[in-house]
Amino acid sequence: MFLEKAYEIVRKRDEKINGYFKKCPDDMRALFEEILKTLNLEINEDNLLALKKRFFHLREDAIINLLKKVNLSKEDIKEIQLDLYELTKNFWIKEHEKLINELAPFIGPFYTEILRGVHKIGISFSAWQPHWTKHVIHTINEELSLEFGGDEAKVMTFLLENDLLKEEEDRTYSVLVKTQNGYIVKTYAEVFEEEVNEAVRAVDELIVNLEKLENEKKVEWILYFNALKTALLERNRSELIKRWANVDRIWMDIDSPIQVGHPLEYYEDKFRKAVALELDVRIKNPEIKSTVKENIVKMYKKYCSDTKLLENALKNIERTKLFISTPATFYGAEFNGLFSAQVVPNDESVSREKGKKIFAFVDKVYEDIKARPKMALSYEIFGRDFMDKFYKNLENKEKFVKVYDITTIGHEFGHILWVDEGTEAKMNKSGMFKNVEEFKATTGGLMAFFENEENDLIEAVLEDVIKRAVGLISWMEVDEVLPYYIEGLIHLTGLFENEIISFNGKSLEYNYSNYEKLKNWYKNTYLDLARHYVEKKDAKEFLDKLVYKDKNFYPLNKKADEFVRYYYKRYGEIGEKIYKG
């Protein structure tokens, strides 16, 4: 009973904040108006919406698009982003404190202490995050890009040849520091000593408080937080992966309906994959179920003939724990965006022992989409019929959940396929592994659907792929989400090549009668990519067949290329405008 009540409390909090899209509290509206005034931006509903998206849905794209229009320098935009991070953080920290007090009577003293303790650790991570961003993203990575003319492959060669990144490292918990003699590697504990010590003090306090309380999982939780503390404090570069793998290993044994998410992902840093400062608490949804796992297994058994990879993935899938859940409290890097689903840990040696956890935030995704106003760009590009149908279908939550299961939870299971512990390091020599991995994951889910189709879902799945692929174009110049943007380009290649969509110079037109052709294209493309994974070839070899770089990445397919360039131009012009009907 406590779980249903706790989940409902979080859902009600999210419902309240989503309600701010229609009626914003006076103090928040005054703050937004003051921000727009300071930035010399007109105070109108379109511009206010960009700030609402930044604060309430943690999405930066709309506000960055606005800032580009007022001729601010790149450096000014970065500073404004950090200022907005600070204000967004302050808003959510207060919301989290209220939520924890509301949850306390229903989750008991032990889990209340976990929420309060994680909140204190989260505050320290959130203070640390801007320093991490400035150092890794705004300084070192910019310098490396400039030094090598934006050529990712040359940067990766430089890092590997100078022992600034080891080939076996598929992620790092360290940063580069520039000295008179060139770059050196330093751990988080060395570079961010004050911030790490602050976080460790909060971890210590939490451990002491948990020791006074009773819970059947008490030992695992205390071991977990001790491991987190040890990993944070590690100053020996060669021990970092082991320390953090131990955090993941202990965490995998905790299967309570309240879960903590620690630093796990590394999308922001495209060169050395320094793991971002994530921290959150997720609460399991006791109601929604998923059926995609069985279809993924059937599909993989059909197509994977490599015995070792087959056994590895099937064992991982069998041991994977699925948490359909919602983020309750979140901190650090997550104030720049929450994921809609996630499969972790990324350490494949831990996964070989323990499997993985998949988190899927279907309720949050669904309610967030419903809360946001309709956008002019979507109606212009997709057409009124397509968008009206989308919003009509949105009223059928059961169907939405089924499509989400196929495309999003299927995507997370798709990550597990075709990999072992050496795959990423060997395929990432040109720094392109993540840029194929997201397409591989989504298409794994689609392949499972193609093998087990439900006729009444075909159009909905197809339209979800179209809408997502087009929407990802708006991330063209956001390095942190480049893998998703490139994934979108590959989907668009298939959609244009098989004439599912065509572009008339202003909007898209559709021909779903080519669906079987598209399925065949996906199958051939997916199996071609799978062979790259089996042979552990450089990911760039696969990408070179589909995309090219001209300052930004574009699809080689000419029709798709024309559309991508047009859409991004229109996104810059009217991306934040609300549809007036």
Place of tokens 């006791």: 286
Q: What is the pLDDT of residue 184?
A: 98
Examine the pLDDT at 274 and tell me if it is beyond 80: yes
Residue ranges in 258-396 assigned as alpha helix (H): 292-303, 307-319, 348-354, 362-371, 376-382, 384-394
Examine the pLDDT at 1 and tell me if it is beyond 70: no
Q: Give the tens place of pLDDT for each residue, 458-508.
A: 999 999 999 999 999 999 998 889 999 999 999 999 999 999 999 999 999
Q: Give the tens place of pLDDT for each residue, 130-139.
A: 999 999 999 9
Nearest one of 369, 280, 354, 278 to 321, comparing CA atoms: 354
Distance of alpha carbon 539 from alpha carbon 236, whole angstroms: 30
147 occurs within a structural domain: no
Average pLDDT for residues 427-445, to the nearest whole number? 96
Q: What is the pLDDT of residue 479?
A: 84
Indicate the average pLDDT of the chain.
Answer: 96
Q: What is the pLDDT of residue 71?
A: 83
Distance of alpha carbon 115 from alpha carbon 377, whole angstroms: 40
Contact criterion met (CB below 8 Å) for 436 and 529:
yes
231 occurs within a structural domain: no
Q: What is the pLDDT of residue 480?
A: 84
pLDDT level of residue 416 (50, 70, 90 thresholds):
very high
| pTM recorded for the entire structure | 0.95
Distance of alpha carbon 169 from alpha carbon 579, whole angstroms: 47
* Widest distance between CA atoms in the chain: 68
pLDDT level of residue 170 (50, 70, 90 thresholds):
confident
Q: What is the pLDDT of residue 581?
A: 80
105 occurs within a structural domain: no
DSSP for 131-172 reads HHIIIIIIIIHHHHHHHTTT-HHHHHHHHHHTTSS-TT-SSB
**Residue 180 burial (CB < 10 Å; 0-12/13-18/19+)?**
exposed
Distance of alpha carbon 196 from alpha carbon 86, whole angstroms: 19
Q: What is the pLDDT of residue 15?
A: 98
Using DSSP, state whether 392 is helix, strand or coil. Answer: helix
| Main-chain dihedrals φ then ψ at residue 544, nearest 5 degrees | -60, -20
Q: Which two tokens stand for residue 99?
A: 């939520």
Q: What is the pLDDT of residue 167?
A: 85
Q: Which two tokens stand for residue 286?
A: 């006791």
Distance of alpha carbon 403 from alpha carbon 291, whole angstroms: 11
Examine the pLDDT at 160 and tell me if it is beyond 90: yes
Distance of alpha carbon 345 from alpha carbon 241, whole angstroms: 12
Distance of alpha carbon 353 from alpha carbon 315, whole angstroms: 9
Q: What is the pLDDT of residue 286?
A: 86
103 occurs within a structural domain: no
Ramachandran class of 505: left when φ > 0, alpha when ψ lies in -120 to 50, beta otherwise: left
Using DSSP, state whether 187 is helix, strand or coil. Answer: strand
Q: Which two tokens stand for residue 223?
A: 């071991």
Give the percent of the chain with pLDDT over 70: 100
Distance of alpha carbon 136 from alpha carbon 382, whole angstroms: 38
403 occurs within a structural domain: yes
| Residue 260 amino acid letter | V
101 occurs within a structural domain: no
109 prior amide bond cis, ω within 30: no
Average pLDDT for residues 551-557, to the nearest whole number? 96
Residues listed for the chain: 581
Give whole-number Cα distances, 232 to 126, 260, 522, in Å: 15, 16, 42
Q: Which domain holds residue 555?
A: 364-574
215 occurs within a structural domain: no
502 occurs within a structural domain: yes
Distance of alpha carbon 452 from alpha carbon 550, whole angstroms: 39
Place of tokens 């071609």: 528
Average pLDDT for residues 230-256, to the nearest whole number? 97
- Considering its fold, how many domains does the chain have in total? 1
Q: Give the tens place of pLDDT for each residue, 336-392.
A: 999 899 999 989 899 989 999 999 999 999 999 999 999 999 999 999 999 999 999
